[in-house]
Chain A
Amino acid sequence: MDVLSPKERLLRSLKGEAVDRAPVICPGGMMNSAIVDVMKNHGNVLPDGHRDSKMMADLALDVQADTGFENVGIPFCMTVEAEALGSDIDFGTLKCEPKIAKEIFPSLKDVIYKADDALVKSPRAGTVFQAIYNAAGHSPDIPVIGSITGPLSTAASVVDPMNFLKELRKVKDESHRFVDYVTNQLIGYARYMVDNGASVISIADPTATGEILGPRMFGDYAVVYINKLVDAIHEMGVPVIVHICGRMQAVTHHIANLHADAISVDALVSLKKLKEAYPQLTTMGNLSTFLLEFGEEPNIQRGTEQLIQDEINILAPACGLSTSTPLSNIQTFTGAAKAV
């Protein structure tokens, strides 16, 4: 029998304290696990659940109950932040996640700065806060993870990314001003999530990868602003997971400088080697989402056992799950994780 509740286990893992076994989670946001199977089982569906707080909470609870992940993850997409700051959103379909239809500003010089509470006052942020509140009240032993789109990804969802990426290099002062502004908006967003019951915050910043930015700009922008956000959340007394996308070689040396309580990585990265290089890191990941969608049960079982054998601290999918991932495959993953 499990001696720790899922919430205690996750919080202890994030503090680096001893646990009976590694938790198995999926944070939501970019790492969304609202799959079609679950939506069909219960009738709480997307895209409606993106804008309806009750449906958002109910769907998040359905996902938790059906999949066996040991957390509730809210919201299910990466568009709340950019929508609040003015960009157009395509809400997608049952199977297809929402996306930025058009960034509001073509270039940094076009940016009109809003008040620092613009994000938290936006209607959809309100939906997210209410959903977190409902879900946290429903099951106090299950941690609710509030998922946030990182500073650079949010910035590149508000200003056209092709121009924004050049401007990061060309107009550094304005770039810093803008990313700092975005970070301040995100800090407010995290605070309301925490106030409404989120016990962990997860940040995914897919634009901030070594492959896109290179090591220097990753250090100058990604590390600086992700850390600013993480530090602010730490002051709220809440641990933070940071997910880094893609191949990491170009920026591995920066990873130890991130202030996150756990580092989550893509399937391409060897967590075992990362652990060897930086033993102080709390590692999270990284079962291939391709395997989860198309793999056979024994392979998923084996992949999970390998992660446990490598002493990965928190087990999770390596990236966002495809909405057509079979529920049974996810159950195989969570089942194997808990069988220790």
Chain B
Amino acid sequence: MEKEELLRQIADAVVEMEEDTVEELAQQSLTAGIDAYETIDLGLAKGMERAGQLFDEEEYFVPELLMCSDAMNVGIDVLKPHLKSENVSKKGKVVIGVVEGDTHDIGKNLVRLMMETGGFEVLDLGRDIPPAEFVSKAEEYGADIIGIATLMTTTMPGMKEVVDILADKGIRDKFKVIVGGGPISPAFAKKIGADGYARNAADAVKVAEKLLSNTDLALGA
């Protein structure tokens, strides 16, 4: 099988949530001598990107996206030992978590998943995280982006608190803050002084890429 065809089939198998097929094809890619990174990037991640697109278009929902991710991970497990370390370049570092008082982390988990697939290094703080911890962990980790999620209206003020703490400490400019989740709107994001609003997990990757590329432009100018 030609390389392009094999990679396309791997991507398809991820979209179709076929773990066994992904495993088999990943093995085949190694036998065929295809670079493991290329298979991840143009096969597995490509498939996951398409799954994210289907999620965005409301063809796929949370269960489907999670199953695609399981299929992708089966492939990554096969390929990872064969990765050459030099091609592990990352787009940026993200600290992500759900605001204190909220234990719904399905959305946040999806964002982590899509961010990692999209080439970001992600530190997942988990759920029910106090605002100060977002800031201290972001500093420690050297994050470029702080992602804050909530599903509950009641915890929305916690998002503002993160932005306020950053400002108080005089480090607001060091991080891009992206907020998202059920009750959040672009207007709210703007109101609390966040840098970006992500509509869903697929959107979060795009917003993160855009924010970081703008930084580069700003720095270059």
List chain A positions with a Cβ less than 8 A from chain B.
96-97, 99-100, 161-162, 165-166, 168-170, 206, 211-214, 217, 245-246, 249-250, 266-268, 288-290, 293, 319-324
Q: A168-B63, A319-B153 are in contact. Are A250 and B58 (CB under 8 A)?
A: yes
Stretch at the interface among B25-33, B100-108, B211-219: B100-108
Contact B106 A165 (CB under 8 A): yes
Contact A99 B128 (CB under 8 A): yes
Contact B109 A290 (CB under 8 A): no
**Nearest chain A CB to B111 CB, angstrom units:** 13
Contact A217 B103 (CB under 8 A): no
**Nearest chain B CB to A78 CB, angstrom units:** 10
Contact B61 A320 (CB under 8 A): no
Stretch at the interface among B64-72, B138-146, B164-172: B64-72
Contact A289 B61 (CB under 8 A): no
In the docked arrangement, what's the CA distance between A319 and B109, Å? 23
Contact A165 B153 (CB under 8 A): no
Q: A319-B153, A320-B154 are in contact. Are A290 and B183 (CB under 8 A)?
A: yes
Segment 37-71 of B: residues with Cβ below 8 Å from A: 58, 60-64, 66-67, 70
B207 contacts A by Cβ under 8 Å = no
A212 CB contact (under 8 Å) in B106, B153, B154, B157: B106
Q: A320-B153, A322-B154 are in contact. Are A214 and B103 (CB under 8 A)?
A: no
Contact B100 A166 (CB under 8 A): no
* Interface residues on chain B, number (Cβ under 8 Å): 25
Residue interface bits B3-34, CB-to-A below 8 A is 1, else 0: 00000000000000000000000000000000
Residue interface bits B178-213, CB-to-A below 8 A is 1, else 0: 000011000010000000000000000000000000
Contact A169 B67 (CB under 8 A): yes
Contact A166 B63 (CB under 8 A): yes
In the docked arrangement, what's the CA distance between A46 and B179, Å? 30
Q: Across the interface, which residues of A come within 8 angstroms of B151, CB to CB? A: 206
List chain B positions with a Cβ less than 8 A from chain A.
58, 60-64, 66-67, 70, 100-101, 103-104, 106, 109, 128, 151-154, 156-157, 182-183, 188
Closest to A170 in B: B67
Contact A162 B154 (CB under 8 A): no
In the docked arrangement, what's the CA distance between A250 and B60, Å? 11
**Nearest chain A CB to B153 CB, angstrom units:** 4
Contact B154 A169 (CB under 8 A): no
Contact A217 B63 (CB under 8 A): yes
Contact A290 B153 (CB under 8 A): yes
Closest to A101 in B: B103
